[in-house]
Structure 1
């Protein structure tokens, strides 16, 4: 056999072998390797996960784990597992899956008006990786609270209900720091100036706003109610806010899940707590809930008037009737009492 034939045979063999290898590699790395039928799914990889743990998480979504192992090894993913939230798309190849597992996707964290730090934490744990105890520890760390001007009674004022963006695996401590950053962004110079004009600190505004928030769901009425409470504070009158009595009763019992729709005279006298504004003059020591932005801005932009009383209206459901003197208020209060008794609201 002459030399040219040997070269020709060797060349053909090389091409054949190369073809086999190429097909093998292509089949391993670049053919569809997912099982789900929906267009996309999200997977969550906990912090400090091993590759074997990742495989268990991916198992319901991957057709051939051997193919994924092959690409994972070639791409050095086994030694560089990332935690977080990751997007898998229908018919992804093994190569695509490994690429996707390196792209941590932010999550939208949403929370609204909550009555306690514990309830806020319950809400957060459904949206981020840190568990309840770690979040409570981060938020109530004495050094953290002192550094940022809060205490255990006022810490709820730190959290402004809104939509936030975090990585799912963000630590509890970093979440706390981001809440502080957002708090300072929210309390800009304009808002702080308005609070100063009313002789209130931002925290005191939040405390009063939490009462206003609980008094009415009608956003348009909140500046009017805020004006009533500011008038009372100016006259050194007790706020006598029923929501503070309800909060005091819940705090005393330790049960924030109970529903209390009606406050009796015995409650205003019997709920011995600094949160009971029938007993104590001035603002309670902390928010009775997490006020939303409309309630905070209602205090900062409170209507100026001479009202010092208000009572739920029986003609305009959800709204209130206002009065500048006690006699007029008694008329409104009597109408409301008759209506409440008529419909049978006991507690």
Structure 2
């Protein structure tokens, strides 16, 4: 008869089996944690991960390292391949929050669920200022964006040219996806500009004998003349009165713009003779385009100017930021002497 094989119930064998099972379970838990647990580096509450247009999956992996997004690119790679992300790479700017795991990161990137960029446009003076702002906040190429602003044929469809193009840039906060093209960026700015010019505003401009771009050009001078909103309608009235009488505008800010020297404190002498179509001391009428992007307050001041006979103004000597207005040149000279005396006393040249 065969003898039955006895099971080895040695305590040592049982103990080894238990230890092996615990190690296996621990390994599985650790592996699961590494794959599914937090995988972000040490940063604040959130960070943005940028994937340039045209990127491949290998570029994403390199970007995760270079931009210091994940702690373990290897575990990210495992999860990403399981979810077929290598074949679904989408360019953009993605918000990665502290403590996110691989699964959540991959799902965000695979879905293309971008975090939009808030582009804040305040007062800008030159095309270069806008190009620099856009190209530092968005992926849009600076060369491509500048080319659009210098393309007269392209701008004609919007009723603009290479001199008036900045009229389309209304100070505001705009939302864009980071990878928006240069053309789409400009189109969105122009759409905001077009919406601003309602039939009512166009009618007010027409009553003044001005086009929308001429209103914004004049408003840009008003914008540069004062920060005091309550006196902007009076300043607008001065320039409108001069235009009606055929006088030169003689606006100091246009000289600064012509010289591209915005730090000048006093405008006199050779500055007034600088040859530029933007120098309203030399050339009559409005300059070819705006000298800055004016606020809505300045535009409204031109559309609804104060009813005055003022032809002159100069800064008050009290340093308040307000201006002294005059209807006659004699009165203006008295105001100007007071102001010049104060500048001399302060040593401002």
Q: TM-score, normalised by structure 1?
A: 0.88
Number of positions where the alignment pairs a residue of Structure 1 with one of Structure 2:
323
Deviations 1:73-102 (CA, angstroms, capped at 9, x unpaired): 121111211111101112211110101223
Q: Which of 305-314 and 124-133 deviates more?
A: 124-133
Select which of 133, 139, 142 maps to 2:143.
133
Aligned to 2:348: 345
Residues 130 and 169 in structure 1, CA contact (< 8 A), matched pair in contact too: yes
Aligned to 1:239: 249
Of 157-166 and 117-126, more deviation after overlay is shown by 117-126
Query: Which entry has the higher C-alpha Rg, 1 or 2?
Result: 2
Once the 2 structures are TM-superposed, how far is the Cα of residue 294 of structure 1 from its aligned partner?
1.5
Distance in 2 (CA, whole Å) between partners of 1:27 and 1:242 is 67
* CA distance in 1 between partners of 2:43 and 2:253 (Å): 50
Q: Which residue of 2 aligns with 1:15?
A: none
Specify whether residues 87 and 226 from structure 1 end up closer, same or farther in structure 2 by C-alpha distance, changes over 3 A only. Answer: same
In 2, Cα distance between equivalents of 1:227 and 1:87: 49
Tell me, yes or no, if structure 1 residue 50 matches structure 2 residue 56. Answer: yes
Q: Which aligned pairs between 1:68-147 and structure 2 lie closer than 5 A?
A: 68-101=76-109, 102-147=112-157
Task: Describe the SS at the equivalent of 2:87.
Answer: coil
**Pairs within 5 Å for 1:1-347:** 26-27=32-33, 29-59=35-65, 60-101=68-109, 102-250=112-260, 256=261, 259-268=263-272, 270-346=273-349
1:166 positional shift = 0.4
SS at match of 1:310: strand
Cα deviation, residue 24, structure 1: 8.3
Q: Deviations over 1:188-234 (max 9, x none)?
A: 12211111111110000011011111111112211110011111111
Shift of 1:265: 3.6
Task: Identify if the C-alpha distance between structure 1 residues 125 and 37 changes in structure 2 by more than 3 Å, giving closer, same or farther.
Answer: closer
Name the CA distance, whole Å, in 2 between partners of 1:340 and 1:193.
Answer: 42
C-alpha contact 1:28 1:70 (8 A) present in aligned 2: no
2:26 & 2:80 partners in 1: Cα distance?
Answer: 21
Q: Provide the aligned C-alpha RMSD in A.
A: 2.1
8 Å CA contact retained: 2:149, 2:162:
no
TM-score w.r.t. the length of structure 2 is 0.87
Q: Deviations over 1:252-293 (max 9, x none)?
A: xxxx5x52111014322x211221111222111111122122
Alpha-carbon displacement from aligned partner over 1:119-166 (angstroms, at most 9, x marks no partner): 111122221111321110123223321111111111111111110000
Could you tell me which residue of structure 2 aligns to residue 3 of structure 1?
none
- For structure 1, the 5+ residue unaligned runs are 1-18, 251-255
Structure 2: unaligned runs, 5 residues or longer: 1-24
1:58 and 1:116 map into 2 onto residues whose CA distance is 36
Question: How far apart, CA to CA, are the structure 1 residues paired with 2:209 and 2:98?
Answer: 59
